[in-house]
Structure 1
Amino acid sequence: MHEILTLQLGQRANYLATHFWNTQESYFTYSSEHESLVDHDIHFRPGIGADGNETFTPRTVIYDLKGGFGTLRRLNALYEIEEPTASDALWNGRALIQRQAAIEQSAYQQSLEEGLPPPKLTTESVRYWSDFNRVFYSPKSIVQLNEYELNSGLMPFENWTSGEELFDSLDKEHDLLDRDLRPFAEEADHMQGIQIISGVDDAWGGFASKYMDRLRDEYGKTTVWFWGLEDGITSVPREKRLSKLSNTAKTISEIAPQATLFIPISISSAALPSYVQLATVSQWHVSGLLATALESITLPSRLRAKRVTLGQLASALNVNGNQNIAKLRMSIDQKDAHNGHHRPGRMELQSQSMDARVPSQDHNSSDNIEVKGEETSVFDIDFFPSDMVDHSRGRERSVKKSHVFGEIETYRGEEDDVDEGMYQEDEGPERARRRAAGLRIIHKSSTVLPFPMLDSFPHIYAQSDSPKGLSVKASLSTDTTVALRIKTLQQIVSRAIAFDEREALRNSLGEIAEAYEEGWDGGSDSDDD
Structure 2
Amino acid sequence: MREIVTVQVGGFANFIGSHFWNFQDELLGLAEDPNADEIFKNPLLDVDVLYRSGETHQGILTYTPRLVSVDLQGTLGSMSSRGTLYNVDSQAASEVNTWRGTVSTHASEPHQKNLFLQSLEEEQNPTERKGKKIDSQREYQEKDIVECLENGVKFWTDYSKVHYHPQSLYELSGLWMDVEDFDNYGIGREALSSGHQEDISERLRFFVEECDHIQGFQFIVDDSGGFSAVAAEFLENIADEYTNTPVLLYTTRGPASYMNLGQKKHKVVRGLHDAVSFSRLSSLCKLIVPLGLPSLSRSKASAYLSIKDEKPYHCSAVYAAALHSTSLPFRMQSVGRAADSQDVSGAVSVSDLVEILSGNARKNMVAILDMAMPAPSLSGRDVGQSMLGHLHPVTYEIAEDVEDSQAMETLNIHGVIGQGGHYASVSEVKDYIHAAYEHANAMPKFCHLSVARTPLPIPLPFPRIFSSLVGGQGKLLGEPIAGSLSRGSVDVHSIPIGTRLRSSIAILPHLENRLTHLQRFGIQRGAAGSELLRGWGFGRDELEEMGECLTRMVMELKPQAIMSDDSD
For normalisation by structure 2, the TM-score amounts to 0.75
1:162 CA displacement? 1.6
Percent identity between matched residues is 22
Match status 1:291 vs 2:342:
no
1:400 CA displacement? 6.9
1:506 CA displacement? 2.4
1:175 CA displacement? 5.0
1:85 CA displacement? 4.7
Q: Which residue of 2 aligns with 1:38?
A: 45
2:251 to 221, 228, 246: 228
- Structure 1 35/217 Cα, relative in aligned 2: closer, same or farther at 3 Å? same
Q: Which residue of 1 aligns with 2:439?
A: none
User: Is this contact kept in 2: 1:413–1:448, CA < 8 A?
Assistant: yes
Provide the rounded CA distance (Å) in 2 between the counterparts of 1:68 and 1:474: 31
- Structure 1 508/73 Cα, relative in aligned 2: closer, same or farther at 3 Å? same
Provide the rounded CA distance (Å) in 2 between the counterparts of 1:439 and 1:332: 22
1:107 CA displacement? 1.2
Structure 2: stretches of 5+ with no match in the other structure: 124-137, 339-344, 431-442, 471-487, 523-528, 531-538
Letter in 2 for 1:140: Q
Letter in 1 for 2:389: V
1:401 CA displacement? 4.5
Q: Which residue of 1 aligns with 2:477?
A: none
Q: Which residue of 2 aligns with 1:527?
A: none
Give the number of equivalent residue pairs: 467
1:329 CA displacement? 0.4
Match status 1:452 vs 2:460:
no
User: Is this contact kept in 2: 1:297–1:410, CA < 8 A?
Assistant: yes
Q: Which residue of 2 aligns with 1:247?
A: 273
- Structure 1 322/275 Cα, relative in aligned 2: closer, same or farther at 3 Å? same
Of residues 443-452 and 240-249 in structure 1, the stretch that sits farther from structure 2 once superposed is 240-249
Letter in 1 for 2:11: Q
Q: Which residue of 1 aligns with 2:171?
A: 144
1:440 to 434, 437, 445: 445
The within-5 A match list for 1:111-510 is: 111-115=119-123, 117-118=141-142, 119-121=145-147, 122-149=149-176, 151=178, 156-171=181-196, 174-177=198-201, 179-232=202-255, 235-239=259-263, 240-269=266-295, 271-272=299-300, 273-304=302-333, 305=338, 306=345, 307-318=347-358, 319-320=360-361, 322-333=363-374, 335=376, 342=380, 348=385, 377-386=388-397, 401-414=403-416, 416=418, 418-420=424-426, 440-462=445-467, 463=470, 464=488, 467=492, 469-497=494-522, 498-499=529-530, 501=540, 502-510=543-551
Per-residue CA deviation, residues 462-491 of structure 1 (Å, 9 max, x unaligned), is: 324555511111000011122232112211
User: Is this contact kept in 2: 1:164–1:209, CA < 8 A?
Assistant: no
1:150 CA displacement? 6.3
Per-residue CA deviation, residues 14-45 of structure 1 (Å, 9 max, x unaligned), is: 00000000001111122689455431211111
Per-residue CA deviation, residues 493-523 of structure 1 (Å, 9 max, x unaligned), is: 2343333545343222112222222775589
1:451 CA displacement? 1.1
Superposition RMSD in Å: 3.1
Provide the rounded CA distance (Å) in 2 between the counterparts of 1:193 and 1:90: 51
- Structure 1 75/211 Cα, relative in aligned 2: closer, same or farther at 3 Å? closer
Provide the rounded CA distance (Å) in 2 between the counterparts of 1:322 and 1:521: 12
Q: Which residue of 2 aligns with 1:22?
A: 22
Provide the rounded CA distance (Å) in 1 between the counterparts of 2:8 and 2:150: 22
SS at match of 1:148: coil
Provide the rounded CA distance (Å) in 2 between the counterparts of 1:152 and 1:201: 11
User: Is this contact kept in 1: 2:72–2:172, CA < 8 A?
Assistant: yes
Provide the rounded CA distance (Å) in 2 between the counterparts of 1:190 and 1:286: 34
Of residues 53-62 and 84-93 in structure 1, the stretch that sits farther from structure 2 once superposed is 84-93
Provide the rounded CA distance (Å) in 2 between the counterparts of 1:91 and 1:321: 69
Provide the rounded CA distance (Å) in 2 between the counterparts of 1:168 and 1:421: 54
Of residues 44-53 and 473-482 in structure 1, the stretch that sits farther from structure 2 once superposed is 44-53
- Structure 1 294/91 Cα, relative in aligned 2: closer, same or farther at 3 Å? farther
More helix per residue: 1 or 2? 2
Letter in 1 for 2:372: S
Q: Which residue of 2 aligns with 1:433?
A: none
Provide the rounded CA distance (Å) in 1 between the counterparts of 2:466 and 2:108: 39
1:300 CA displacement? 1.0
Letter in 2 for 1:170: G
User: Is this contact kept in 2: 1:51–1:78, CA < 8 A?
Assistant: no
Of residues 320-329 and 469-478 in structure 1, the stretch that sits farther from structure 2 once superposed is 320-329
- Structure 1 150/124 Cα, relative in aligned 2: closer, same or farther at 3 Å? farther
Letter in 2 for 1:459: R
